[in-house]
Chains A and B, each alone.
Chain A
Amino acid sequence: MWKEYTVTYKSDNVYDNWVHDAYWQFLIIPVENETQKLLEFDFANSIHCINQYSINGFGFDTIKVHPKKKFKQISFEATFKVLKSNESTPNENNFAKIETSLNEINSLNFKIDFERYLRETSLTALPKQNKGIFKFESNTGIFENLLGLNHWSHSHLKYIAGVTNIASTLETILNQRSGVCQDFAHLFCAVCRHNQVPCRYVAGYLNHESGYLGNSQMHAWVEAFVPGSDG
């Protein structure tokens, strides 16, 4: 089953002084994979500056904008039409046996190939005293452990908007035991990586059904790689 979604971004920027020689790089084009297809998109700005389609350092598609004239005000509007499949979520039967997958994640080659998704970053560093805050069970599969982690993090933190910002570390979050979606995602990533399971942070939109309107914030979640899976 595929469903069509339309996402529109708007941004108005006003400056006190003239802006010369500005550069923007927009990382907003939805990825295309087996679960989502980009049907069409449109991106425009109020001063009619041309879009340059390019990539960023990691190879993701970006749009670069560099106005040649000075300005004090500029607004952007982007619209994406995306086709999304609602394939059922994976279950433990999709993955390799417990032992095989544990062997794999503990192998050097695996650690090297997935190093980028296992590396601790400043926002995914567990404080010293919290290193063992959630331990994966060695007698259950990795997928079940991830489900467990998901439940645990939902019970461990309370969702409160505004108590954190984009630079909040896990130290703060775990102390106050509250945060928003990105904080949940960071905690999930940190524990996941600490248990040798590669994962990455994803930003996107949640299906609110029946046409959600208004100033909706982007959502955040985590993608983890479970050995033995096909993708």
Chain B
Amino acid sequence: MSNIESQIFSSYQRNPDLYDEIYDSNGNIKDIYQKLFDIYGEHSIQDYINLNSKAKASFFNQGITFQVYGEDNVQEKIFPFDLFPRIIDQEEWDIIERGSIQRAKALNLFLWDIYHDKKILKDKVVPLELITSSANYLDQMNGVNPPGGIYNHISGTDIIKHKDGQYYVLEDNIRCPSGVSYVICNRTALKRALFGVFNHYQTHTVTDYAENLLEQLESVKPKGVDIPNCVVITPGMYNSAFYEHSYLAKTMGVELVEGRDLFVENDFVYMKTIKGPVKVDVIYRRIDDAFLDPLEFRPDSALGVPGLFAAYKKGNVTLANAPGTGVADDKAVYTYMPDIIKYYLNEDPILNNVHTYHCSRPDELKYVLENIPELVVKPVDEAGGYGISIGNRLTKEEIEEVKKQVKENPRKYVAQPIMSLSVHPTYIDDTESFEQRHVDLRTFTILGRDKEFVLKGGLTRVALKKGNLIVNSSQGGGSKDTWVLKNK
């Protein structure tokens, strides 16, 4: 043990106030991490630096990069990747998996309902204003029956582990959740760099995602189609997630198309091939609702296909995810998730929701105003981590400013207790050592006709800036390979 400590973990500092995933409550390394810890511990810092740069080169050569536009040149950068994996044992994974499916199913039923009979509104479980005030509610989807009854074919659920050791859902993403290709790339990179460690663990594969996705897409084919022709539609190679789009098309063995490769004739969709038009039945779309069809939504969209929505509405093509799903994944609906699950499935939520105070309700507003230092205050309609005030980081003056804003427009704000994201040892380039960094987890759930699947792994995102709680890649986040163990 002492030998190990003298090597790469020797300078690892544990902050006792944080929940460190590799230690148990007595301060000992958890059993499932012990072997990993030993193996990594055998490496000197220099070894590790070499491995790390090799892994980076592997990402770079595979072209898994995003572009940074500088003053006079365009630079390609890789997404920061950490070589120390996160391990989730079978027991905990079971909760995450069942919880993710439960949420995805409840959201799907919720979407069907609010685009049909709207029973949940009539039964006063969810207020009408919540839906009608949402910019993502699509009137055009009223009464549309998506094939197989599925709206959110692919859901990304953002989950954290709080310092109480419990998992909490922070957000559901059911428009075009991205990141699954990084799960697979992280695994590949780790295998290339440190294949030896896999000998000691029974880890679930993550490469079965594409086959499950294809099976799901085929299961929601339009009526009357025998063998469906599925495609992936991308905004194009300059989109930051283009690598993912091409990866998914390639591993499913389907065409990767752009809007300009498709056309609609008599409400059927075709793609332009070297042998003429070929009918398209199922489209996994990675472009937003507003850009899908310039005849129906934004007329200036060059990314979409004119007439696509009419073809969809007539049931001649399937879109995954369905248009209009965005109404169900905003922060305001999130706060009702426990009620939504209960209403449709008559089950208690398996994964916790972070308790939410609605400033629109007078008693809750009062609590919020009195307890700002213990709360995170968020506007309900901002994405990407903007406009968030974290109570214990604010000065007196700032607290007053937040109070003022909330009082002026209480409907615009919700507040939640400050969640303490768990931390995980992460290699930091600048200090050439491992340090604690906050992590979350995005799971990927697939719903099809009589089919459900959760990728056994998911994307662990790391907030690379010290003390930062926000793990979005737009705010300087990295990622880690995530292992789900087959048995303990």
A and B are interacting partners? yes
Q: Which residues of A pack against B, CB within 8 Å?
A: 23, 25, 52-59, 62, 64, 66, 108-109, 111-113, 115-116, 119
Contact with A along B255-276 (1 / 0, CB 8 A): 0000000000111000000000
A-B contact pairs, 9 of them (CB 8 A): A54-B267, A55-B313, A57-B313, A58-B139, A58-B140, A59-B313, A66-B306, A108-B122, A119-B132
A23:B294 contact, CB within 8 angstroms: yes
- Please name all residues of chain A whose beta carbon is closer than 8 Å to the beta carbon of B128 when the two chains form the complex: 108, 111-112, 115
Q: How far is the CB of B258 from chain A (nearest CB, A)?
A: 14
Q: Which residues of B pack against A, CB within 8 Å?
A: 118, 121-122, 124, 128, 132, 139-140, 142-143, 265-267, 294-296, 306-307, 309-310, 313-314
Q: How far is the CB of A113 from chain B (nearest CB, A)?
A: 8
Nearest residue, chain A, Cβ from B140: A57
> How far, in angstroms, from A83 to B139 measured CA to CA in the complex?
31
B306:A23 contact, CB within 8 angstroms: yes
- Please name all residues of chain B whose beta carbon is closer than 8 Å to the beta carbon of A23 when the two chains form the complex: 294-295, 306-307
- Please name all residues of chain B whose beta carbon is closer than 8 Å to the beta carbon of A56 when the two chains form the complex: 295-296, 310
Q: How far is the CB of B444 from chain A (nearest CB, A)?
A: 30
Nearest residue, chain B, Cβ from A110: B122
- Given A108-B124, A115-B132, A119-B132, does the pair A55, B296 have CB atoms closer than 8 Å? no
> How far, in angstroms, from A31 to B118 measured CA to CA in the complex?
27
Q: How far is the CB of B409 from chain A (nearest CB, A)?
A: 15
Give 3 closest A-B pairs by Cβ, nearest first.
Answer: A57-B140, A23-B306, A57-B296
- Please name all residues of chain B whose beta carbon is closer than 8 Å to the beta carbon of A115 when the two chains form the complex: 128, 132
Q: How far is the CB of A109 from chain B (nearest CB, A)?
A: 5
Overall SS of chain A's interface: mixed
B295:A25 contact, CB within 8 angstroms: yes
Which among B121, B294, B307 is the interface contact of A54 at CB below 8 angstroms? B307
Q: How far is the CB of A89 from chain B (nearest CB, A)?
A: 30
B265:A52 contact, CB within 8 angstroms: yes
- Please name all residues of chain B whose beta carbon is closer than 8 Å to the beta carbon of A116 when the two chains form the complex: 139, 142
Which has the most chain B C-beta neighbours within 10 Å: A25, A54, A62, A108? A54
- Please name all residues of chain A whose beta carbon is closer than 8 Å to the beta carbon of B306 when the two chains form the complex: 23, 64, 66
- Please name all residues of chain B whose beta carbon is closer than 8 Å to the beta carbon of A112 when the two chains form the complex: 118, 121-122, 128
> How far, in angstroms, from A14 to B132 measured CA to CA in the complex?
41
- Please name all residues of chain A whose beta carbon is closer than 8 Å to the beta carbon of B267 when the two chains form the complex: 52, 54-55
Q: How far is the CB of A45 from chain B (nearest CB, A)?
A: 17
Q: How far is the CB of A48 from chain B (nearest CB, A)?
A: 17
Besides A23-B294, A111-B128, 7 other A-B contacts (C-beta < 8 A): A23-B306, A25-B295, A54-B267, A54-B307, A54-B310, A59-B143, A108-B128
Nearest residue, chain A, Cβ from B323: A57
- Please name all residues of chain A whose beta carbon is closer than 8 Å to the beta carbon of B122 when the two chains form the complex: 108-109, 112
> How far, in angstroms, from A116 to B142 measured CA to CA in the complex?
10
Q: How far is the CB of B480 from chain A (nearest CB, A)?
A: 43
Q: How far is the CB of A129 from chain B (nearest CB, A)?
A: 20
> How far, in angstroms, from A58 to B295 measured CA to CA in the complex?
12
> How far, in angstroms, from A111 to B143 measured CA to CA in the complex?
17
- Please name all residues of chain B whose beta carbon is closer than 8 Å to the beta carbon of A25 when the two chains form the complex: 295
Nearest residue, chain B, Cβ from A119: B132
- Please name all residues of chain A whose beta carbon is closer than 8 Å to the beta carbon of B124 when the two chains form the complex: 108
> How far, in angstroms, from A90 to B8 measured CA to CA in the complex?
86
Nearest residue, chain B, Cβ from A59: B313
- Please name all residues of chain B whose beta carbon is closer than 8 Å to the beta carbon of A52 when the two chains form the complex: 265-267, 307
Q: How far is the CB of B133 from chain A (nearest CB, A)?
A: 10
Q: How far is the CB of A55 from chain B (nearest CB, A)?
A: 5
> How far, in angstroms, from A57 to B139 measured CA to CA in the complex?
8
> How far, in angstroms, from A57 to B313 measured CA to CA in the complex?
7
Q: How far is the CB of A166 from chain B (nearest CB, A)?
A: 15
Q: How far is the CB of B190 from chain A (nearest CB, A)?
A: 46
Q: How far is the CB of A161 from chain B (nearest CB, A)?
A: 28
Q: How far is the CB of B304 from chain A (nearest CB, A)?
A: 11
> How far, in angstroms, from A179 to B250 measured CA to CA in the complex?
59
Q: How far is the CB of A25 from chain B (nearest CB, A)?
A: 5
Q: How far is the CB of B319 from chain A (nearest CB, A)?
A: 13
Nearest residue, chain B, Cβ from A23: B306
Which among B118, B265, B294, B309 is the interface contact of A57 at CB below 8 angstroms? B309
Q: How far is the CB of B442 from chain A (nearest CB, A)?
A: 32
- Please name all residues of chain A whose beta carbon is closer than 8 Å to the beta carbon of B295 when the two chains form the complex: 23, 25, 56, 64
Q: How far is the CB of A202 from chain B (nearest CB, A)?
A: 17
> How far, in angstroms, from A115 to B310 measured CA to CA in the complex?
23
> How far, in angstroms, from A211 to B401 measured CA to CA in the complex?
68
> How far, in angstroms, from A56 to B140 measured CA to CA in the complex?
9
- Please name all residues of chain A whose beta carbon is closer than 8 Å to the beta carbon of B310 when the two chains form the complex: 54-57, 62, 64
- Please name all residues of chain A whose beta carbon is closer than 8 Å to the beta carbon of B132 when the two chains form the complex: 115, 119
Q: How far is the CB of A119 from chain B (nearest CB, A)?
A: 6
- Please name all residues of chain B whose beta carbon is closer than 8 Å to the beta carbon of A64 when the two chains form the complex: 295, 306-307, 310
> How far, in angstroms, from A116 to B139 measured CA to CA in the complex?
8
Nearest residue, chain A, Cβ from B310: A54
Nearest residue, chain A, Cβ from B143: A59
Nearest residue, chain A, Cβ from B124: A108
> How far, in angstroms, from A55 to B140 measured CA to CA in the complex?
11
Nearest residue, chain A, Cβ from B128: A112
- Please name all residues of chain A whose beta carbon is closer than 8 Å to the beta carbon of B294 when the two chains form the complex: 23
> How far, in angstroms, from A59 to B142 measured CA to CA in the complex?
10
Q: How far is the CB of B142 from chain A (nearest CB, A)?
A: 8
Nearest residue, chain B, Cβ from A107: B122
> How far, in angstroms, from A18 to B473 measured CA to CA in the complex?
44
- Please name all residues of chain A whose beta carbon is closer than 8 Å to the beta carbon of B309 when the two chains form the complex: 57
> How far, in angstroms, from A119 to B134 measured CA to CA in the complex?
12
B314:A55 contact, CB within 8 angstroms: yes
Q: How far is the CB of B122 from chain A (nearest CB, A)?
A: 5
- Please name all residues of chain A whose beta carbon is closer than 8 Å to the beta carbon of B314 when the two chains form the complex: 55
> How far, in angstroms, from A64 to B124 measured CA to CA in the complex?
42
Q: How far is the CB of B118 from chain A (nearest CB, A)?
A: 5
> How far, in angstroms, from A58 to B144 measured CA to CA in the complex?
10
> How far, in angstroms, from A55 to B122 measured CA to CA in the complex?
30
> How far, in angstroms, from A111 to B122 measured CA to CA in the complex?
9
